[in-house]
Amino acid sequence: MRIVDPHIHMTSRTTDDYERMHAAGVRVVVEPSFWLGQPRTSVGTFCDYFDSILGWEPFRAQQFGIAHFATIGLNPKEANDPRCREVLTELPRYLEKDRVVAVGELGYDSMTREEDEVFAHQLALAVEHGLPALVHTPHRDKLAGTRRTLDVVRESGLAPGRVLVDHLNEVTVGEVAGSGCWMGFSIYPDTKMDPHRMVAVLREYGLERMVVNSAADWGRSDPLLTLRTAEAMLEGGFTEDDVDRVLWRNPVEFYGQSERLDLDGVLEAGEPVAATSGATFEGNSVLRGSRDA
Amino acid sequence: MTWTDDARRSVAADGESVLALFPAAARHARTEGLDGERVRADLLVAIPGPVDEVARLVTLVYQRGDNVEKLAVLRALPDLDHSTGRRPPVGGALVDLLRDALRTNDTRLVGAALGRYGADHLEAPTWRQGVVKALFTGVPLDEVEELSTRSDATLRRMVADLVAERRAAGRDVPDDAWRVVDADAAEATVPGRAS
């Protein structure tokens, strides 16, 4: 089985997770920039964070045979903090990086006027830099927030097929299904979605434009819930091809729209490269992988 | 005109434009069937002007770069150390980039910092620490330029100590250590070893 985790915050995870994820078939991860749990107080710390998810973290992932990409953006929570907002002027240079496959994660937290402005501004940046956008839906007032999100997307000029609306559930999926946007589901141990509820959603809404992620971060979460969802799909009567579509082909198609999702070295003849369990750390493959040729 | 030709001309006309062009250069190069790292090096070499100005721009490209961009900058440093009609050799003006690279734990950057430019410009204490770090992190010493000519008694002592520490711990000694120290001499330095 081959798996893309299209939304996971690897800077918060250990090397044990990388090993377990590789063993489970995960070969590609996308790390959206987001809130760190502790509020930032300056633009400089934002840049250090962006540099980290574009620098050290891809290198770390590579040791475990996993290709790491990122999405870059100002998250809605910190869009409300004037000390952080200035990072908007730094974004254009980050949005040109090879490993940036979308703008994000964007969207609403408390649905303030500041969040409106920053959200619309960054959707315009997505258009300008030829990138798709990863948009999360708010934790609170979720249904109204999802509707408002889709309104802003509609006004942005960014094609709905280039927008992934994430953290959906049974209540919000129907709103997005008709919009043409991609639908993302974060499978959590006890909130958001679980594998069996996810299978029910797939049965009702089909597999088109559907992606599943673990959204694992510094909170209670599990990077293997992508695999658990795949297993639940198989138990629920879906085929291996269905699983491959949701866990691999769909996220590859979505982020592939950036034309920067370079999967060289991740697959051989369409199959995941054999497990290395970190053995590349002292070997040449790390250095080989760094060359462009 | 191709994207890469256009980019080279832009940088030759206005060095500052390298800041915007460098990050996207490798993927444009690949679509033209060119090597991304080579095109990135060409952009840096095209920056015109006095050493201070070239060094300022190359430093900014490095500081703003992701690790693959940083690697391309480090590997281009020997090219920048030759004069072109439009600028003099940079000399040691960019040696701070090597110090930065040697502080990272990215083995690609560590290896690149010990290439030709490092061999020519790094002061001995930093160069020695770099070589030992390469051994520590598994960077092949093949990447270290002038290894035999720059090795000195201090480096041999440091590597012998590394060998002793690894043996005391029952761990493997990196094969490349023997390129710096004599196996027999290292035997003698193992502490507490029953003879």
Residues of B in contact with A282 (CB under 8 A): 137-138
Show the tokens assigned to B105.
């734990």
Report d(CA B193, CA B191) in Å as an integer: 5
Share of chain B above pLDDT 90, in %: 90
The answer to whether B42 faces chain A, any CB pair under 8 Å, is no
In the numeric block, the tokens 């598994």 are attached to: B138
State residue A268's pLDDT score. 66
Residues of chain A with pLDDT under 70: 268-293
Residue in chain A closest to B110 (alpha carbons) equals: A287
Per-residue CA distances from B87 to A197, B47, B58, B91 (Å): 65, 8, 13, 12
- For residue range A53-81, what is the model confidence (pLDDT) as tens digits? 999 999 999 999 999 999 999 999 999 99
The answer to whether B166 faces chain A, any CB pair under 8 Å, is no
Show the tokens assigned to B120.
């020519």
A51·B27 Cβ contact <8 A: no
State residue B170's pLDDT score. 96
- For residue range B114-169, what is the model confidence (pLDDT) as tens digits? 999 999 999 999 999 999 999 999 999 999 999 999 999 999 999 999 999 999 99
The answer to whether A54 faces chain B, any CB pair under 8 Å, is yes
Query: Residue ranges per domain, chain B?
Result: 3-122
How many degrees, rounded to 5, is the angle at CA A278 between CA A273 and CA A283?
85
Q: How many Å is the Cα radius of gyration of chain A?
A: 18
Show the tokens assigned to A67.
């290709």
The answer to whether B26 faces chain A, any CB pair under 8 Å, is yes
The answer to whether A60 faces chain B, any CB pair under 8 Å, is no
**DSSP annotation of B171:** P
Task: Show the domains of chain A with their CATH numbers.
Answer: 3-261 (3.20.20.140)
State residue A277's pLDDT score. 37
Closest CA to B76 of B100, B106, B45: B45
- For residue range B166-192, what is the model confidence (pLDDT) as tens digits? 999 999 999 999 999 987 665 655 554
B37·A292 Cβ contact <8 A: yes
Show the tokens assigned to B176.
């490349």
A286·B108 Cβ contact <8 A: yes
| A-B Cβ pairs (cutoff 8 Å, strict) | 62
B23·A59 Cβ contact <8 A: no
Q: Where are the beta strands (DSSP E) in chain B?
A: none
Closest CA to B76 of B96, B60, B62: B62
Q: Which of residues 76-135 of B touch A (CB under 8 A)?
A: 104-108, 111
Given a contact cutoff of 8 angstroms between Cβ atoms, the answer to whether B121 and B157 are in contact is no
Alpha helices in A107-157 (DSSP H): 113-128, 142-156
Do you find a cis peptide bond into A105, omega within 30 degrees of 0? yes
To the nearest whole Å, the CA of B106 is away from the closest chain A CA by 7
The answer to whether A32 faces chain B, any CB pair under 8 Å, is no
- For residue range B63-120, what is the model confidence (pLDDT) as tens digits? 999 999 999 999 999 999 998 888 899 999 999 999 999 999 999 999 999 999 999 9
A98·B71 Cβ contact <8 A: no
State residue A281's pLDDT score. 38
Per-residue CA distances from B93 to B53, B58, B86, B193 (Å): 10, 10, 17, 47
- For residue range B14-38, what is the model confidence (pLDDT) as tens digits? 999 999 999 999 999 999 999 999 9
To the nearest whole Å, the CA of B143 is away from the closest chain A CA by 11
Provide the sign of the torsion angle of the four alpha carbons A72, A78, A79, A82, taken in this order. Answer: negative
The answer to whether A259 faces chain B, any CB pair under 8 Å, is yes
State residue A43's pLDDT score. 96
Q: Which residue type, as a one-letter code, is found at position B60?
A: L
Residues of B in contact with A93 (CB under 8 A): 19-20, 23, 64
Residues of A in contact with B66 (CB under 8 A): 51, 54-55, 58, 97-99
A281·B138 Cβ contact <8 A: yes
Closest CA to B181 of B156, B149, B150, B145: B156
A55·B138 Cβ contact <8 A: no
The answer to whether A97 faces chain B, any CB pair under 8 Å, is yes
Show the tokens assigned to A162.
């280039």
| Of the partner residues A55, A284, A293, the one whose CB lies closest to the CB of residue B67 | A55
